[in-house]
Amino acid sequence: MKSLLPIAILLLMLPLYTALNAQAPSPDQTWKLDQSTLTYHMSHPMHEVDGTSHAALGKGVCHAGLCNFLVAATVKSFDSGDSNRDLHMIQTTRGAQFPIVQVKFSLAQSSLNSPTLDCDLEVQFAGNTAHYSHVIFQQTIQGTAHHITGVVPSTLTDFKIDPPTFLTIPIKNAIPVRADMVWHAE
Amino acid sequence: MLVAQTSGQTLVVQLASQQQGIELVSKQSNLQILPHAPLPAAPAESAIQSDATLSGSSSSFNYAQNQPTSTGPSLGDLGLTSADTEGDAKRQALFDRRSHMLKIHQRLGLITVIPVAAACISSAGAPPEKGNYSDTTSRDIHVALGATALAMYAWTASYAIRAPRVSNGPARGGVKWHKYLIYIHAPGMVLTPILGAMAYNQINSGQKVHGIASAHAGVAVATAASYGAAILAVSWPIHLKF
């Protein structure tokens, strides 16, 4: 009988341990951006242009239940299919002086498997920083791959970029950036 | 080690391995160690820059609160080197100059369309009518418009030629055709006035235009057409949407 007492105590403590363990933060975790397609869209009364970069790099670090993510791409990696336009884009966005566009955001680790991700983005671009609240990204999970898509509603004025003109007509202020990314937990 | 730029004075903050506090070291005082200097109530966005070693790690240091606050990854964690991330003001200035010169090239090129078109239209009156070789007015107008077109063309081209090169990569898209068409309209702009001068002299001497001078009109049309195509090449595709 005496030998069963410790076992009984352990069994009684099991639910308490389980409850405490459930409240403990998730273990540290890192995420890596495996594939990405970032596409900006530029509108002009005579032209519709998309510039795409597949060269974005990204990493996420989760600690104490909070995940901090960083995605960065070089400005020159965006390709609109016209080398002259791309060089002009680099000039307009001060891409030689500020060669990196980077996006930072944080998410609760518990929300990483949700079908929609509500992100507050901090975007550094062209020497300026803009914040975008509640940007919704759609997520589909296939095995270990987290496929995330969404649009950042960026504008030229957010980054104090003078709108380029064609035939004296400036392009539209809105430059939405579509993100299509695949992340993996490491 | 952290480097802080405060009102023009550079401070170096050293983090000891057994950190009991912060040592502030002034560069200007030849690395003189100050004992436990009081921490300034700097705002969170004070200009504190971590050096490459710290920024490459997954932690950062908050100068005001003396404790780590963020575990977010840095650009170094992504594998980007300082060569990738550091800007180059001189190169930016080169880009600015290039864009400025190409904008002028674009404007002058569009303006040049006017004398080129006018020279083409005025060519209708350039040949002598029914053997009347004495009336040279229409011909002179055509010559003047042609000369204006040539001068404007050379002025336009000079801005593209003198614009600094910022990339050695191959031309892609419409600008590639814009450059290919130079091989047609540039020789054409040289040949057209030469052939025109030959035709002018033949007419003035009472002869019919003959020999190579008779190609003046054909070369001029090919030149004007390729010039127009060069403009369209950098404007294409056009989607009118208002």
Residue B55 falls inside a structural domain: yes
**Which of A46, A88, A93 best tests the B interface by mutation, with the highest count of B CBs <10 A?**
A46
Q: Is the pLDDT of residue B40 over 60?
A: no
What's the CA gap between B207 and B225, in Å, rounded?
29
Q: Is the pLDDT of residue A135 over 60?
A: yes
Is B169 close to A83, i.e. CB distance below 8 A? yes
Nearest CA in chain A to B164: A87
**pLDDT band at A6, cuts 50/70/90?**
low
Q: Is the pLDDT of residue B113 over 90?
A: yes
Nearest CA in chain B to A67: B72
Q: Where are the domains of chain A?
A: 25-185
Nearest CA in chain B to A31: B73
Look at B35 and A170; give whichever has higher pLDDT.
A170
- For residues B70 and B122, membership in a common domain is answered with no
Is A96 close to B92, i.e. CB distance below 8 A? yes
Is B71 close to A83, i.e. CB distance below 8 A? no
Look at B114 and B208; give whichever has higher pLDDT.
B114
Spatial neighbors of B241 by CB under 8 A, at least 6 apart, are A43, A45, A46, A48
Predicted pLDDT of residue B19: 41
Is B240 close to A45, i.e. CB distance below 8 A? yes
Residue B186 falls inside a structural domain: yes
Q: Residue B84 is nearest to which of A87, A99, A167, comparing CB atoms?
A: A99
Is A81 close to B80, i.e. CB distance below 8 A? no
**pLDDT band at A12, cuts 50/70/90?**
low
Is B174 close to A46, i.e. CB distance below 8 A? no
What average pLDDT does the structure give for chain A? 89
**pLDDT band at A7, cuts 50/70/90?**
low
Which chain B residues are within 8 Å of A41, Cβ to Cβ?
none
Which chain A residues are within 8 Å of B96, Cβ to Cβ?
91
Predicted pLDDT of residue B103: 93
Q: Is the pLDDT of residue B21 over 90?
A: no
Q: Is the pLDDT of residue A55 over 50?
A: yes
Per-residue pLDDT, averaged over B14-18, amounts to 39
Per-residue pLDDT, averaged over A138-152, amounts to 96
B228, two tokens: 């127009």
Look at A148 and B83; give whichever has higher pLDDT.
A148
The pLDDT tens digits for A31-40 are 999 999 999 9
Which chain B residues are within 8 Å of A102, Cβ to Cβ?
75
Which chain B residues are within 8 Å of A29, Cβ to Cβ?
none
Per-residue pLDDT, averaged over B41-45, amounts to 39
Which chain B residues are within 8 Å of A63, Cβ to Cβ?
71
Look at B57 and A140; give whichever has higher pLDDT.
A140
Which chain A residues are within 8 Å of B98, Cβ to Cβ?
87, 91
Residue B36 falls inside a structural domain: yes
Q: Global pTM?
A: 0.74
A86 close to A74: Cβ distance less than 8 angstroms: no
**Which of B82, B92, B98, B180 best tests the A interface by mutation, with the highest count of A CBs <10 A?**
B92
A169, two tokens: 């007509």
Per-residue pLDDT, averaged over A8-20, amounts to 55
Per-residue pLDDT, averaged over A79-100, amounts to 95
Is B98 close to A91, i.e. CB distance below 8 A? yes
A57 close to A33: Cβ distance less than 8 angstroms: yes
**pLDDT band at B242, cuts 50/70/90?**
low
Per-residue pLDDT, averaged over B55-64, amounts to 31
Number of compact structural domains in chain B: 2
The pLDDT tens digits for B139-185 are 999 999 999 999 999 999 999 999 999 988 899 999 999 999 999 99
Per-residue pLDDT, averaged over A120-149, amounts to 96
- For residues B56 and B100, membership in a common domain is answered with no
Predicted pLDDT of residue A71: 97
Predicted pLDDT of residue B236: 80
Look at B79 and A19; give whichever has higher pLDDT.
B79
- For residues B15 and B126, membership in a common domain is answered with no
Residue B220 falls inside a structural domain: yes
Which chain A residues are within 8 Å of B77, Cβ to Cβ?
59, 70
Predicted pLDDT of residue B68: 36
Residue B169 falls inside a structural domain: yes
Is A84 close to B98, i.e. CB distance below 8 A? no
Q: Residue A83 is nearest to which of B79, B99, B173, comparing CB atoms?
A: B173
- For residues B58 and B120, membership in a common domain is answered with no
Predicted pLDDT of residue B72: 85
Q: How many CB pairs under 8 A join A and B?
A: 108
Please identify, among B28, B62, B85, the residue that sits at the C-terminal boundary of a domain.
B85
What's the CA gap between B74 and B80, in Å, rounded?
9
Nearest CA in chain B to A107: B72
- Residue B221 burial class via C-beta count within 10 angstroms: exposed 0-12, middle 13-18, buried 19 and up: middle
- For residues B101 and B23, membership in a common domain is answered with no
- For residues B148 and B181, membership in a common domain is answered with yes
**pLDDT band at A153, cuts 50/70/90?**
very high
Q: What angle do CA B47, B51, B52 make, to 5 degrees?
A: 135
Q: Is the pLDDT of residue B30 over 80?
A: no
Please identify, among B70, B85, B100, the residue that sits at the C-terminal boundary of a domain.
B85
- For residues B125 and B168, membership in a common domain is answered with yes
Predicted pLDDT of residue B28: 40
What average pLDDT does the structure give for chain B? 76
Q: Residue B73 is nearest to which of A48, A66, A68, comparing CB atoms?
A: A68
Predicted pLDDT of residue B49: 37
Task: Find out if CATH 2.40.128.110 is the number for domain A25-185.
Answer: yes
Tell me the residue range of the domain where B164 lies. 89-233
Closest CA to B213 of B201, B226, B231: B201
CA distance A83 to chain B (A): 5
Is A84 close to B171, i.e. CB distance below 8 A? yes
Q: Is the pLDDT of residue B122 over 50?
A: yes
Q: What is the DSSP letter of A64?
A: T
Q: A53 pairs with which residues across the strands? A: A38
